[in-house]
């Protein structure tokens, strides 16, 4: 029996597939994205396939369980169809979520035109009954366009849901309509994979988000924010933890000396806006500052979580190892 991970792009390949592969050899990654820079015999391209062809591909490769990381249109539709074919669907929280923060600028939407084409393909090749599909799409529209919780009649297509803590358990019940008894606490992920505490630096470290790249903030407002960071916190060199979708040229215009880091070091100061990494850095005992954004509100829920975050004594068991153990797929 094998496991599939959906939807793998170049970003997720590094942050999800390779990490899961540490604990299980039976993992395939399912890609609805263009992955020209990834060479791996376990990559299964899906973008040219209909939904029924994807199910046949899973059956051919003996994939009995599929892990998802989102509630986007393709994820929800495919998860519903997989369940009907007795393929177990598992959802894993991958970051900080806030409904109000999902709002996009028109430019941001247009930059994702390929994703829109994919959404339409998954809709039009769906094998769900028209009535069921329509009900599903109404709930998705309510969430992604009107920025509200899924409708109460929405039935979560995931048999098991893994979240960071109790607060996020309640969030997934109320917003994503997950079933309480199907939710498992896996603990924080970032503290295991996004920090290098053996590397000490006195320089400040700025954590990028894909706010501009995803159309959540205008470039002019981001530029003003970066100018204020340069003026207040940077004397010479700054460490930057880029987001995988970051447009690095934007930051290079504002900071004359940048050292790119793949993991946040044990530094005197961590700066950012509302990345989940800020919660993790505070959890690890680092001085962390939430920097206001120009014309873009920091979500109140993030501020609440951040202010109530306390230092942890140990990282605990790796969340992905815990997940594979619970679903019966951990290599021993």
At 216 the pLDDT is 86
What pLDDT digit, counting tens, does each position of 28-67 carry? 988 887 666 666 778 888 988 999 999 999 999 999 999 9
Same domain flag for 47 and 101 = yes
Q: Angle 73-84/51-60 helices, nearest 10 degrees?
A: 60
301 in Cβ contact with 229 (< 8 Å)? no
Same domain flag for 45 and 171 = yes
Same domain flag for 178 and 197 = no
Instruction: Specify burial of residue 70 (Cβ count, 10 A radius: 0-12, 13-18, 19+).
Output: middle
At 313 the pLDDT is 77
Residue 169: give its domain's CATH number: 3.40.50
Q: How far is CA 159 from CA 62, 89, 91, 181, 184, in A?
A: 19, 6, 8, 10, 11
Same domain flag for 56 and 182 = yes
> Mean pLDDT score of the chain, rounded to an integer?
89
Q: Is the dihedral of CA 269, 241, 70, 214 positive or negative?
A: positive
Give the total residue count for the chain.
332
Same domain flag for 70 and 161 = yes
Domain-located, residue 104: yes
Domain-located, residue 214: yes
Instruction: Specify burial of residue 289 (Cβ count, 10 A radius: 0-12, 13-18, 19+).
Output: middle
| Cα separation of the two ends of the chain | 15
Please state, in angstroms and rounded to a whole number, the distance separating the CA atoms of residues 95 and 275.
8
- pLDDT of 291 > 70? The answer is yes
Q: Give the domain range for residue 257.
A: 191-307
What pLDDT digit, counting tens, does each position of 85-96 carry? 999 999 999 888
The more confidently predicted of residues 229 and 104 is 229
Same domain flag for 101 and 8 = yes
Same domain flag for 30 and 172 = yes
Same domain flag for 106 and 41 = yes
Query: Considering the entire predicted model, what is its pTM?
Result: 0.86
What's the total number of domains in the chain? 2
Domain-located, residue 218: yes
At 188 the pLDDT is 85
At 287 the pLDDT is 96
Same domain flag for 282 and 133 = no
Facing residues of 273 across strands?
Answer: none
Q: What is the mean pLDDT of residues 319-325?
A: 91
Share of the chain above pLDDT 90, in %: 58
Q: Is the dihedral of CA 57, 60, 61, 62 positive or negative?
A: positive
* pLDDT band of 146, cuts 50, 70, 90: confident
Domain-located, residue 137: yes
φ/ψ of 259, rounded to 5, equals -115, 115
Same domain flag for 203 and 124 = no
Nearest-5° Cα angle at 18, 13 to 19: 120
At 13 the pLDDT is 64
- Non-local CB neighbours of 225 within 8 Å, separated by 6+ positions: 273, 291, 292, 293, 294
Q: Return the SS3 of 150.
A: coil
At 263 the pLDDT is 93
At 220 the pLDDT is 94
Please state, in angstroms and rounded to a whole number, the distance separating the CA atoms of residues 135 and 130.
9
Q: What is the mean pLDDT of residues 178-205?
A: 92
Domain-located, residue 6: yes
Domain-located, residue 112: yes
Q: What is the mean pLDDT of residues 302-326?
A: 89
Domain-located, residue 331: no
Domain-located, residue 312: no
104 in Cβ contact with 41 (< 8 Å)? no
* pLDDT band of 106, cuts 50, 70, 90: low
Same domain flag for 234 and 292 = yes
- Quote the DSSP letter at residue 317: S
The more confidently predicted of residues 32 and 110 is 32
* pLDDT band of 228, cuts 50, 70, 90: very high
Closest CA to 238 of 268, 209, 210, 212: 268
Q: What is the mean pLDDT of residues 311-324?
A: 87
- pLDDT of 247 > 70? The answer is yes
Same domain flag for 244 and 301 = yes
């Amino acid at each position: 029996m094998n496991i599939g991970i959906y939807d793998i792009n170049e970003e997720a390949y590094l942050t999800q597939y390779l990490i899961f592969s540490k604990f299980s050899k039976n993992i395939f990654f399912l890609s609805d994205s263009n992955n020209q820079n990834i060479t791996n015999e376990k990559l299964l391209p899906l973008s040219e396939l209909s939904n029924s062809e994807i199910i046949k591909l899973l059956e051919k490769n003996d994939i009995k369980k599929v892990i998802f990381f989102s509630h986007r249109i393709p994820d929800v539709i495919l998860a519903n169809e997989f369940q009907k074919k007795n393929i177990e669907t598992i959802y894993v929280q991958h970051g900080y979520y806030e409904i109000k923060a999902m709002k996009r600028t028109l430019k941001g939407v247009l930059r994702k035109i390929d994703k829109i084409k994919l959404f339409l393909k998954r809709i039009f090749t769906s094998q769900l009954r028209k009535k069921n599909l329509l009900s599903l799409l109404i709930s998705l529209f309510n969430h992604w366009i009107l920025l509200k919780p899924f409708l109460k009649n929405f039935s979560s297509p995931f048999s098991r849901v893994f979240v960071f803590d109790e607060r996020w358990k309640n969030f997934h019940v109320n917003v994503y309509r997950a079933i309480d008894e199907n939710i498992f606490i896996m603990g924080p992920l970032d503290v295991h994979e996004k920090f290098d505490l053996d590397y000490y630096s006195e320089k400040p470290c700025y954590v990028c988000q894909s706010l501009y790249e995803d159309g959540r903030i205008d470039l002019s407002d981001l530029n003003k924010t970066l100018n204020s960071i340069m003026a207040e916190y940077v004397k010479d060199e700054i460490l930057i933890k880029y987001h995988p979708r970051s447009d690095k040229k934007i930051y290079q215009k504002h900071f004359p000396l940048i050292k790119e880091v793949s993991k946040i070091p044990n530094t005197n100061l961590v700066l950012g806006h509302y990345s989940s990494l800020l919660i993790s850095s505070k959890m690890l005992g680092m001085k962390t500052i939430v920097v206001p954004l120009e014309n873009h509100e920091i979500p109140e829920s993030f501020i609440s979580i951040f202010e109530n975050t306390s230092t942890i004594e140990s990282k605990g068991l790796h969340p992905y190892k815990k997940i594979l153990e619970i679903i019966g797929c951990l290599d021993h």
